[in-house]
Chain A
Amino acid sequence: MSYRIPIGPYHPALEEPYKLDLICEGETVREAELHVGFNFRNIEYLAERRNYQQVIALVERVCGICSNVHSVTFCLTVERLLGLEVPERAQYIRVAMAELERLHSHILWAGIAAKLIGFKTMFMSCFAMREKVMDMLEAISGNRVNYGMNCIGGVVRDMSDTGAILSMVDAIEKELVSSIIPVFTTNSTVRDRCAGIGVLTNQQAKSMGIVGPLARASGVTQDLRRDAPYLVYDRLEFDVPVQTDGDVRARLVVRALELLESCRILRQVMRDMPEGPIAVSTGAPRLKVPAGTAVARIEAPRGEVFYSVTANGTDTPQRVKVRTPTFANMPSMQWAVVGAQLADAPLIQASIDPCYSCTDR
């Protein structure tokens, strides 16, 4: 006989609201139903009632973790409509912010995963490590969550103390290599807890159109930084970690290795960042954007963020479409938990690294 277990909308494993109904037979999950929309704010509609400068602040509120990604993608889209060439230094700064954001997002996720695995010490270590990145972001931007770094045409703050950033990267990398990477890649307890559960096959990943580390853990190789480069990523050397098992462990490994790649990118950015202006003048906030539609996308910590902006010649966008990575990734949860043990369901859903603030917008 099957029975239904409702989990959420106040979730025991995550801080954000969503609801998952698991239909089980004994301890085995046979079916899952997802319910989202508890954080629905209709940011797309609100964006069509504000000028372009105000929309930057608005879209930064789409997500509380990868806030910078949203403002950069929006700015890139509008800059395309305007035909603006963003100064090189600003592009390097945007890359640095994006990689710092990826670092703290992946470390946050590693901490949550460790907690769900039952590895509380690692949870503490991850969150202590994440604070170093958050402190650095605060030192650069003055903020810990919504950085307010981007404007149409560049960035609003310079990144002057590159030495401090490099020292932080050294410290983070040392801890990654000495503790997090070995634990997530070779520790037998972690392996036993994570291997073979929550599997998404390569075929499933492709048909669901999933993106980011979740897709790369199922053998989908795409990383927009390499395959559709933006900003100055085409000048930087980095690897794209890919696993093929498609299980929770593969997701752990991909994200753990991506942390090292972010450190590698940050070092190159600090080394190569040229002197020069950090923005071009656009006349904001009275900026009017010529009619047309443009798109832009960025490899956020959770995968592809996609923006489409339609302008009508006024100072207010006619349409702003936001497709976040979790919106693409979350439906796959309904496949990943089928056949799993009920006790594994929280870890499986966390392994997707969901963000409901993003999903619901």
Chain B
Amino acid sequence: MTERAVMLEREIGWDVSLLDLRAEDGWEQKNGAWWIAQEKLDPRAMTRFMLAQDARFVTVTAMEMEGGETRLDYHWDLKGVILTFSTQTRENKFPSISDLCPAADWLERETYEYFSVEFTGRISNKQLMLRPGLEAGLNRRQIGKP
């Protein structure tokens, strides 16, 4: 990561050079999207910034990682281009963005049900897909094992 990118990340919590999408800042264009991996992503700063750019929140893709954490890919549409912020949970928790971005509400509820990711700051995790009595984390491998 460049000195400039480190400085920006330290000052505002994430890389504001987003719109430049420079490779030296960590952006990579491949497989249908622009990607950036940010282990310490501040999702709320990301959301505020993306909404200010008139970007549309598309979805979040969760994927189980070894060690109990979950990889989270936040996909945004900015003027027809998909920007993906790839990060991971901390103790399988992650700050919610649903109060800033209503489009994230169902997605966070679904991610909780499938991968038991606890999105902190949410008012409730009302059941979405699962019937009452089913345990959250349905798609985590250890639950699927015989």
Q: List residues of chain A with CB under 8 Å of any chain B CB.
A: 36-37, 40, 42, 44-45, 76-77, 80-81, 206-209, 222, 224, 227-228, 292-297, 304, 306, 308, 310, 318-319, 321, 323, 327-328, 330-331, 360
Contact = CB atoms under 8 A, between A and B. Distances in A.
B23 to A, nearest CB: 17
Contacts of B77: 222, 228
B131 A207 contact: no
Interface in B37-79: 54, 56-59, 61-63, 73, 75, 77, 79
Contacts of B105: 331
A227 B75 contact: no
A306 B59 contact: yes
Nearest to A324: B59
A321 B56 contact: no
A126 B130 CA distance: 36
A227 B77 CA distance: 11
B127 A37 contact: yes
Task: Select the residue from B32, B56, B131 with max chain A CB neighbours within 10 A.
Answer: B32
B59 A45 contact: no
Contacts of A228: 77, 80-82
A292 B81 CA distance: 19
Given A227-B79, A228-B80, A318-B63, 8 more contacts: A44-B139, A45-B144, A76-B32, A80-B31, A294-B31, A295-B82, A310-B63, A319-B61
A209 B104 CA distance: 9
A169 B30 CA distance: 38
A308 B61 contact: yes
B33 A295 contact: yes
A295 B32 contact: yes
A45 B102 CA distance: 26
* Across the A-B interface, the 8 shortest Cβ-Cβ residue pairs: A209-B103, A294-B31, A227-B80, A323-B59, A37-B129, A228-B80, A321-B61, A295-B32
B7 interface: no
Contacts of A319: 61, 63
A36 B113 CA distance: 13
A40 B128 CA distance: 10
A40 B73 CA distance: 23
Interface in B63-116: 63, 73, 75, 77, 79-82, 84, 101-103, 105-107, 114
Contacts of A42: 138-139
12 contacts: A45-B114, A45-B138, A222-B77, A295-B84, A306-B75, A308-B61, A308-B73, A321-B59, A323-B58, A323-B107, A327-B106, A360-B129
Interface residues of B, number: 35
A296 B80 contact: no
Contacts of B32: 76-77, 80, 294-297
A45 B127 CA distance: 18
Contacts of A330: 106
A297 B80 contact: no
B58 A209 contact: yes
Contacts of A295: 31-33, 75, 82, 84
Contact of A36 (B103, B128, B144): B128
B123 to A, nearest CB: 14
A139 B127 CA distance: 43
Nearest to A310: B63
A128 B24 CA distance: 58
A293 B58 contact: no
Given A37-B127, A222-B80, A306 B58 contact: yes
Nearest to B64: A319
Contacts of B107: 323
Task: Select the residue from A81, A228, A318 with max chain B CB neighbours within 10 A.
Answer: A228
A227 B58 CA distance: 15
Contacts of A321: 59, 61-62
A63 to B, nearest CB: 16
B116 to A, nearest CB: 14
Contacts of A323: 58-59, 107
